[in-house]
Amino acid sequence: MRVLLFGVTRDIVKCSSIDLNAQIAAGIQTVGDLKKHLSMEYPKLAELTSLAVAVNQQYAEENHPLGNKDEIALIPPVSGG
């Protein structure tokens, strides 16, 4: 399972992607599970007021199921004019 990071999420984790090994990924069944796992590994992620998640290039809700081959993107809030 690959997690792509953008914006402030990339700054927090200090890399542009995370590859979760099969053992860890086996315990992650949904987008909500993934967010909980990543917040434990990187507590600053839990401080974000909103965080969109895309699974295989489609926005996904907390209960969206995940598989080992999925590509997940964490999309933080953006500002600009």
Q: What are phi and psi of 28, to 5 degrees?
A: -110, 105
Q: The domain containing residue 31 runs over which residues?
A: 2-75
- Is the residue at 81 inside a domain? no
Read off the CATH number of the domain in which 35 is found: 3.10.20.30
Number of domains in the chain: 1
Q: Is residue 15 part of a domain?
A: yes
Q: Is the pTM of this model over 0.85?
A: yes
List per-residue pLDDT tens for the chain, 81 residues long: 899 999 999 999 999 999 998 888 889 999 999 999 999 999 999 999 889 999 999 999 999 999 888 999 999 877 655
Residue 80: inside a domain: no
Residue 64 lies in a domain: yes
8 class by beta-carbon count within 10 Å (0-12 exposed, 13-18 middle, 19+ buried) = middle
The Cβ of residue 30 has, within 10 Å, a number of other Cβ atoms equal to: 16
